[in-house]
Every structure is written in C-alpha cells, then in structure tokens.
Amino acid sequence: MNPLKLEDRAREFLQLIARSEFTRPSSGALPLEAGMEAALDLLDRARQAKSAVYIIGNGGSSAIASHVITDFTNVAGLRARTLHESSLITCMANDYGYENAFARLLGAHAVKDDVLIAISSSGRSKNILNAADAMKTAGGRVLTLSGFDRDNPLRKTGDLNVWVDSHDYGLVEIGHLFLLHNLADRFGALKKSTAQKNAKR
C-alpha cells in the first residue's frame, strides 16, 4: 500500500471515520451513530433556545471553524460564530497571553446554555483547553473534537467528545470537518422533511 496514493488514502479515511469515538464523561463511549445523534441534539437545543455556538481552533482547525460557521448558519440555522477576528484575538493574546485569548473572549461574551465547539488535532492546545473551562464557567456546554492520543486532555473536558484515531494531521483535520459538515447536512435534511410534512397538511 502506498500511504499517499489517493485510493489508499481514501480507504484509510473511510476506516478512520468508522472507528471515530464519541464519549461522555458520565456514560463513557457511544456508538458512532448514537454519538452523531447526541451532537445533533446538543446543537438543536442551542438552535431552539437561540443560544450562540462558538467554534474555535488553531491553524488548520481555525480554518475548519471558519468553514463550518457558514454551513451552521446558512443550513442549520444556528447562531454560529468564530472568535478569531484578527484585531480582537491579537489584542487578547498581546494583553493576556495566547493561551488565554479565547478564554478571555468567552468570558466577555458567553452566557448560560451557549455552546463551544473546541477543535484541536492534538487535544493539547492550552488556549483551547482554557476556552473549554471558560465556557463551563459561563454555564455553557462543550463539544470537543480531537485526535492523536486516546487520552488527550481535551477529550476529557467536553459534555460530548469526538476523537479521531490518527496522528496524521491531514486525516484528523479532514475527519473533523467531515463530521461537522455531516451535522450541518442533517439539519438541512430535517428542515426539508419538516417543510414537506407542512406542505401536505
């Protein structure tokens, strides 16, 4: 097998998604589809309550956050936003240290029942871990997406945690984007189904 040959890479990605794990602190591991349904429920509750959904990450994970807020806003009807507007994030990083930048912003903006989607391939980025703590302090809920080591610290912080079993940055990042995009697509399917039911009445 050539690890960079496209069809081998695609096969590896399919296997990676199939063995992704969802966990909750209280009940442990969930089957893959049950985990996706739990994530959908968490976000749907935020949508119905008109709570904010913050999505954060560094580097490639930040790019994922920027992509996903588009689909979450347009398709899912969520009040989704990132926190990496350049002047604001650099102000917080300069004044309080980069490890505290997202946490300071959430301390200023997050309220009870808001949701944080915290993305980190390694699950060890200090600024992401601190942001998760800040959201909990605000009374919100946390969905984490990580990869690399099974016991990474981010995976232990969320109300619901998604772990992608790979140390390959490219596969982990695309896996995170794929899972989040699937959640947006599910909202789109629910919206279409509801519209069809209402049209038949």
Domains of the chain: residue spans and CATH: 21-189 (3.40.50.10490)
**Strands of 21-24's sheet, edge to edge?**
28-30, 21-24, 160-163, 141-146, 115-120, 52-56, 79-81
pTM: 0.94
Q: What angle do CA 153, 167, 14 make, to 5 degrees?
A: 110
Neighbours of 199 (CB within 10 A): 7
In 87-192, at which residue ranges do the beta strands (DSSP E only) sit?
Answer: 115-120, 141-146, 160-163
Res 78 pLDDT > 90: yes
Mean pLDDT value of segment 95-118: 98
Neighbours of 75 (CB within 10 A): 17
Res 162 pLDDT > 70: yes
Mean pLDDT value of segment 108-126: 98
The pLDDT-based confidence of 28 (bands split at 50, 70, 90) is confident
Instruction: Report pLDDT for 193.
Output: 73
CB 155 within 8 A of CB 22: no
DSSP one-letter code for 80: E
Two tokens at 70?
């588009």
Please state, for a pLDDT cut of 90, what percent of the chain lies above it. Answer: 87
- How far is the CA of 148 from the CAs of 19, 50, 100, 166, in angstroms? 13, 33, 23, 5
Q: What angle do CA 80, 154, 160 make, to 5 degrees?
A: 60
CA 12 to chain centre: 22
Return the SS3 of 138.
coil
CB 164 within 8 A of CB 138: no
Instruction: Report pLDDT for 27.
Output: 80
CB 129 within 8 A of CB 106: no
Res 16 pLDDT > 80: yes
Res 4 pLDDT > 90: no
